[in-house]
Amino acid sequence: MVNAIAGVLLGPWYAALMATAAGITRNMFGVGTVFAFPGGIPGALVVGIAYRYSRKDYAALTEVIGTGIIGALLSALVIGPMMGMTMTVEAFIIAFSASSIPGSLLGYAVLLVIRRIPGFNLEA
């Protein structure tokens, strides 16, 4: 959800930086894995790039492409083998999509609510 909102409101690079900070924080507190990085960062980048070209809030829904597909491929084909793990691409796609689909939908819903706040100009 945060990647979807950050990608729209902050743009691709700040959203990716935010996803990196979130991954570091999760790992420091022991509530995340190294897969937080290849999952979160591409998701934030894809949303930010999609919003930059479309200027539509539904760009938040593209987080599934970044996390559920690109992040899953990076995890399965690069990070997993580096760590000596053997999981299939399909396993990563299912796992990453299971969180990114509801997250992107919630992020989109939050953006719609934020846009309705009177006097709240997000484009300034």
Q: What pLDDT digit, counting tens, does each position of 56-90 carry?
A: 999 999 999 999 999 999 999 988 888 888 788 99
Question: Quick check: helix, strand or coil at residue 9?
Answer: helix
Residue 110 CA to residue 49 CA, distance in Å, equals 19
Predicted TM-score (pTM) of this structure: 0.90
pLDDT above 70 as % of the chain: 97
Structure tokens at 99: 């969180």
Structure tokens at 77: 């084909």
124 pLDDT band, cuts 50/70/90, is: very low
Q: Which residues contact 33 (CB under 8 A, 6 or more apart)?
A: 27
Pick from 66, 57, 58: nearest CA to 97: 66
Measured at the CA of 60, the angle between CA 91 and CA 46, to 5 degrees, comes to: 65
